Structure 1
Amino acid sequence: MSRQKFVDRKMELAFLEERYASGDAELLIIYGRRRIGKTELLLHFARDKEHVYFLASEKPYMDNLRELQRMMGDFLGDRLFPKIEFSEVDELLIEFSKRVNGRRVVLIIDEFPYLIERYKPVLSLIQRAWDMELSKGDLMLILCGSSVSSMETEVLGYKSPLYGRRTGQWKVGELPFWSLREFFPSYSTEELVKVYGVLGGIPAYLLRFNPGKGFDENVVERVLSKGAFLYEEAEILLKEEVREPANYFAILQAVASGRSRFGEIVNATGLEKSLVSKYLNVLEKLGMVEREVPVTASRKEALKRGRYSITDNYLVFWFRYVLPNRSYLEAGMSREVWERSKEDFNEYMGAVFERLLRKPEVFTKLTGFGFTKIGRWWHRGEEIDLVALNEREKKALFVEVKWKDLSDREARGILKDLERKAELVGLDGWEKYYGLVAKSVEGKEGLRGEGHLVWGLEDILGGSPVM
C-alpha cells in the first residue's frame, strides 16, 4: 500500500504563500504531468486556510457546475445556495465572489482541462467572471491541470481568453534528488541513487516502495511483479496523457533502445518525419524526453547534432527491464529476471548517475562551481560526461562520471585522459578545471591534496564542495 506523505516542495509552497499574502485577487495556473503531486501540493498549501477544493471530472459540464455549486454552498453554510439556478460558471463564480467578499478564500479547480473538453466556452466565461468581479475582490482562484499540452495551449497560450489575466503560474516538476532521503531514511546514498534510477523523483512512485524493505526486494515486488501498480504504469500513463499512445509508445521504445538521433527514430518506428517531430515535441513538453546538443555547439551545429533521450527514469527502466521480459514476468519469474538483469543494471546506472549529476542543483551543491551552461560534449567518437561553462569569467569544468569504485591508478588515468579530451573542445584562453565523480575513489583525499577535483557518493548528500 502507498503511504500518505508530503515531502519538500519548499519553492512551490513559498510561491503560493507569497501570492496568498499579497491580499490581491489572484488567478494562478498550476500544472504538471500526472503523478507529480500537484493535488497534494495544493491541499497542503490550503489546509490551514479558508478554501474550496473542487475536482472536475469527465461528467457533463452542467453536472460539474452543480457539484461545484454544492461544494460552495457547504463552504458558505447556506443550504439554499445549491438551489439557485445558474446556467453558466461565470454566474456562479461572480455570486460566490460577492458572498465571500472581505475574506481571503482559496478556490481550487483541479483537473481543469476536463471542463475545457466538455465545454470550450468555459474559458471565456471564467475570463468574463474575472474581468467583471473576481479581479476586484479577495478571491484566490487556482486552476490546476495534468494535461500539460492543454494547460500550455488552451489556458496559458496567447490565443486563450485567459491570456493576460493570470497573476502567476507554476509548472510542477519532480522532487529534487535529496528529497528521497525522507522517503527512505535507512537507505545508503548508493541505494538512494538506485531508487532514483528506477523511479526518478515522482512522488506517487516513490510512495509505492516500502522503506522497510531492501532495494532489490522493492524492485521485484513493486515493479517487476504482475499486478503491481508500477508493472503496467508506463502503458497506463501514456493512455492518459496522449491521444495516440501506440505511436508515442513506439517512439519511446526506439529512444530507450538507443536510437537517439532523429533519423534513427524515424527508421525504427516507420512513422513519417512530420509525425515523429510532432510526437517528440509533445513528449518534450510532458517532460518525458529531452533533446541534447553538445554544450559548446553553435546554433547552426545544434540543429544537426541533437540527440534524444528519455528523462523519466521510470520509463527508461520500464522499457529496458519490464517490456523485454514480459513473457517471463507474466509467468511469475520476477526474481529470476532481476537476478539476471543485475549486471546490465550496473551499466544502466552509469547513464542514470550522469543525468543526476548534470542536474544544475545537484552539480552546484556538489562542486560549488558557478556556471552559465551545463551539459555533455561529444565529437567524432570522443565524449565528456559533463562540461560546465562560466561564459562570463571564461572558466570551464570538465568532469568524468563513473558508476564504479576506482583505484588510485584508475582515477589518475581517467583524469589524465580527461585533460586530453578537454583540449579537443577548444576554449583557448579559458581557465580549465578537471574533475572526477565515482561511487568511491581510493586515495581521494590524497588526490585532492595534489589539486585534483574528486568526489565520491558520500559527497553528493553530505559532502562539502572542494571548489
Structure 2
Amino acid sequence: MGLTKPTGIFDRDYEWAELARFAADERPGATLGVVSGRRRQGKTFLLYELARATGGFYFGATEATPAESLRRLGEALGQHTSAPGPLHLPDWSSAVDALLALGRARPTTVVLDEFPYLARASRDLPSILQHALTPGRPERVESRTRLLLCGSALSFMGGLLAGSAPLRGRAGLELPVPPLDYRTAAMFWGLSDPLLAAQVFAIVGGTPAYRREYVQDDAPDGPADFDDWVVRAILNPARPLFREARYLLAEDPDLRDTALYHSVLAAVAEGNGTRGGIASYIGRKATDLQHPLTVLEDAGLLVRDPDPLRSGRSRYRISEPLITFYQAIMRPAWTALEQRRGADVWRRSQRRFGSAVLGPAFEETVRQWTLRFAVPETFGGVVAEASAGVLTDPSTRTSHELDLVAIGEPPVGDGARPLLGIGEAKWGRVLGRPDLGRLERARQLLAAREGFEADAARLLLASGEGFTDELRQVAAGRPDVILVDPERLYFGE
C-alpha cells in the first residue's frame, strides 16, 4: 500500500506518488533524487510532509557561508538523531557521509531543500556527492538513504544532471513541480464560473501560494466582484502579491541585469514575440539578445515556441501570467499604484488588459485544452504538439496568424505528419462565418504544402464572447468544425 498523501496537499497526486515510491524503495544502496520548480509551487511543503510521513530528515538551507551551513546542519542532525549535542561536521564530505548513515537501518528520506544555496557557497559539493554515491563505495552500499535535492533556481537545478555535470547518471528521480494547470487552478481557487476562472488564471496562473499567503485567501466572490478583487488583492501596495513579479526576477541569482530582463519581458508582454521584435522594442541588436533570452528561458520565465509552419522561426512567450500582468498593467503605472490609486489605474487598463493579458492567456489555454483535455475523437487523432504558427499565402503575399496548429504523432516509417487541426482563438470578439472562411483558406494552403497531411485538418474556433447563429448552424452540420467556448474549455472534451 502506498504512502497516503496528507490532506493538506491539494492535487499533486502524481508528484506525491513519485516521491513516495522513491522514499519507500527497499533496495540496498543510497539513491539520489532531484526536485525542481519555480518558487511558490509548494515544493517545500511536499518534501517537508514527505519527510514527516516517513520519519525522515528535512534540512532547509539558507544563504550562508559553508561553515555556518555545516554548523546548522550539524545542529539539525543532532536533534534528529537525539544526540546529546550537535554533530561536528568539519567538511561536506563528513556531512554527506553523516546523511548516508541515517539510512543504515531502513530506507530513510533525507531532504536538502534550497540546495543551490549550499552548492553556490561550496562549489565542490556536487563532486563530493558524486564521490559519495559511487557504486561499490561501502558508505553507499550500506545505506538506504533516499537523498532528495530541491531548488527553485531552475537554471542551476537543470544543470545538476546535464552534460558533463558531476551528478549526471547518479539520480534515480528527476521531478519537476510545475504550476497547476488552468482547470486545477480553478478548483483550487473555488471558481465554478469559467469566464471568471479564465480571468483570474490570466493574472495569477497556477501558482498555489498566490491563493493562500499572498492574498490571505481572498478570492473573487463571483463575476461581479472581479474588478474589486483585482484592485484590493493585486493592485494594492499592502498585499504581498503587489511586488511579487519584481521579486521573481530579483530572487534568481542568475538574473543580474534586472533592468535588461524587465525590458525583454516588457517587449514580449507587448506582443513582440520574435527576437527581432524584442530587439527593436528595447533598442538593442538582435545578436545582443542571445544571453538574456537564454537566461530567462533557463530561469523558467520565458518559453520559446518553434513555429511548426516556418522552419527555424520561433516566438517567445512569458510563462508566468503574473509577470505578463505586471509588465502590461502595473509597471507602466507603478507610481500611481504606489500612491494607492489602483482603482483609477484599473479603470484605465480595461482595454489593455483584454488585448495584452487576457487575449494571449486565452490562446494558450486553448492550446493546453487541445493537448490535455480534448479527446482524440475531437481532432481525429492524438494531438502530440499544439502551438501557434504563421502561414504565408503566396498568391496574395499575406500572412495568416494561426493561434492553434495541432500536429499528430509522427507516422511509422516515412510519410508526412498529420496536421490534425488549425484554429483561431479570440477572447473579446464574437466569431462568425468569415473567421471560418479564413481557416478554410489556410487549410487549402497547408494541404498544398509538403511536410504535413492537412486535407482532413479540423477547424477550431474559440471565443470568450461566443459565436454567431450562422456559424453555430454551419458547425452543427460539419464534423470538421470545432467550436470552443469557456464552458467547454473548463468542463468539456
- Residue 235 of structure 1 is matched in structure 2 by 246
Kindly indicate whether the alpha-carbon contact (under 8 Å) linking 2:328 and 2:353 is maintained by their aligned counterparts in 1: no
Measured in 1, the distance between the counterparts of 2:454 and 2:126 equals: 55
- Residue 373 of structure 1 is matched in structure 2 by 385
The answer on 1:246 being equivalent to 2:259 is yes
Structure 1 stretch displaced more, 205-214 or 33-42: 205-214
When normalised by structure 1's length, the TM-score is: 0.89
CA deviation profile, 1:266-290 (whole Å, cap 9, x unmatched): 2333445554111101111222112
Number of residue pairs matched by the alignment:
449
- Residue 420 of structure 2 is matched in structure 1 by 396
Measured in 2, the distance between the counterparts of 1:454 and 1:264 equals: 32
Aligned with residue 411 of structure 1, among 408, 429, 432 = 432
What percentage of residue pairs aligned between the two structures are identical? 27
Secondary structure, counterpart of 2:64 in structure 1: coil
Measured in 1, the distance between the counterparts of 2:8 and 2:105 equals: 34
Structure 1 stretch displaced more, 189-198 or 17-26: 17-26
Q: What amino acid sits opposite 1:461 in the alignment? A: Y
Secondary structure, counterpart of 1:254 in structure 2: helix
Aligned with residue 261 of structure 1, among 270, 274, 277 = 274
- Residue 138 of structure 1 is matched in structure 2 by 144
Kindly indicate whether the alpha-carbon contact (under 8 Å) linking 1:397 and 1:434 is maintained by their aligned counterparts in 2: yes
The answer on 1:326 being equivalent to 2:329 is no
Q: After the TM superposition, list the runs of 4 or more consecutive aligned residues in structure 1 that deviate by more than 4 angstroms.
A: 271-275, 442-448
- Residue 403 of structure 2 is matched in structure 1 by 385
Aligned with residue 74 of structure 1, among 63, 70, 79 = 79
- How do residues 278-293 of structure 1 correspond to structure 2 at under 5 angstroms? 278-293=291-306
Measured in 1, the distance between the counterparts of 2:305 and 2:168 equals: 31
Change (3 A) 1:141 1:37: same
CA deviation profile, 1:312-370 (whole Å, cap 9, x unmatched): 211111001001112321222101111221233233312210011112x6544135341
Kindly indicate whether the alpha-carbon contact (under 8 Å) linking 1:295 and 1:374 is maintained by their aligned counterparts in 2: no
Aligned with residue 45 of structure 2, among 37, 40, 44 = 40
Q: What amino acid sits opposite 2:39 in the alignment? A: R
The answer on 1:164 being equivalent to 2:169 is yes
Secondary structure, counterpart of 2:185 in structure 1: helix
Structure 1 stretch displaced more, 315-324 or 326-335: 326-335
Cα displacement (A) at 1:152: 2.1
CA deviation profile, 1:414-454 (whole Å, cap 9, x unmatched): 22221112222334663221122223346587555312322
- Residue 445 of structure 2 is matched in structure 1 by 424
Q: What amino acid sits opposite 2:266 in the alignment? A: Q
- How do residues 2-401 of structure 1 correspond to structure 2 at under 5 angstroms? 6-24=9-27, 25-80=30-85, 82=86, 84-131=87-134, 132=137, 133-134=139-140, 136-153=142-159, 155-207=160-212, 208-209=214-215, 210-211=218-219, 213=221, 214-241=225-252, 242-271=255-284, 273-297=286-310, 301-302=311-312, 305-348=313-356, 349-359=358-368, 363-368=371-376, 369=379, 370-379=382-391, 380-390=398-408, 391-392=410-411, 394-401=418-425
Measured in 2, the distance between the counterparts of 1:356 and 1:186 equals: 16
Measured in 2, the distance between the counterparts of 1:328 and 1:240 equals: 25
Measured in 2, the distance between the counterparts of 1:253 and 1:343 equals: 17
CA deviation profile, 1:188-223 (whole Å, cap 9, x unmatched): 111111111001111222333412643222211122
Secondary structure, counterpart of 2:460 in structure 1: strand
Measured in 2, the distance between the counterparts of 1:396 and 1:251 equals: 34
Q: What amino acid sits opposite 1:140 in the alignment? A: R
Structure 1 stretch displaced more, 254-263 or 267-276: 267-276
Change (3 A) 1:455 1:260: closer
Secondary structure, counterpart of 1:381 in structure 2: strand
Kindly indicate whether the alpha-carbon contact (under 8 Å) linking 2:307 and 2:315 is maintained by their aligned counterparts in 1: no
Larger relative contact order (CA 8 Å, sep ≥ 6): 1
Structure 1 stretch displaced more, 19-28 or 439-448: 439-448
Measured in 1, the distance between the counterparts of 2:355 and 2:145 equals: 53
Kindly indicate whether the alpha-carbon contact (under 8 Å) linking 1:91 and 1:129 is maintained by their aligned counterparts in 2: no
Kindly indicate whether the alpha-carbon contact (under 8 Å) linking 2:100 and 2:140 is maintained by their aligned counterparts in 1: yes
CA RMSD of aligned residues (A): 2.4
Structure 1 stretch displaced more, 444-453 or 225-234: 444-453
Secondary structure, counterpart of 2:18 in structure 1: helix
Structure 1 stretch displaced more, 411-420 or 235-244: 411-420
Measured in 2, the distance between the counterparts of 1:435 and 1:96 equals: 55
Change (3 A) 1:462 1:323: same
Measured in 1, the distance between the counterparts of 2:183 and 2:265 equals: 27
5+ long unaligned stretches in structure 1:
none
Change (3 A) 1:12 1:128: same
Secondary structure, counterpart of 2:271 in structure 1: coil
Measured in 1, the distance between the counterparts of 2:120 and 2:162 equals: 16
When normalised by structure 2's length, the TM-score is: 0.84
Aligned with residue 482 of structure 2, among 434, 437, 453 = 453
Q: What amino acid sits opposite 2:147 in the alignment? A: L
CA deviation profile, 1:220-252 (whole Å, cap 9, x unmatched): 112212232122222222111112212211211
Q: What amino acid sits opposite 1:377 in the alignment? A: G
Q: What amino acid sits opposite 1:150 in the alignment? A: F
Structure 1 stretch displaced more, 92-101 or 31-40: 92-101
CA deviation profile, 1:154-207 (whole Å, cap 9, x unmatched): x22333222221112122221111112333224411111111100111122233
Q: What amino acid sits opposite 2:245 in the alignment? A: A
Secondary structure, counterpart of 2:307 in structure 1: coil
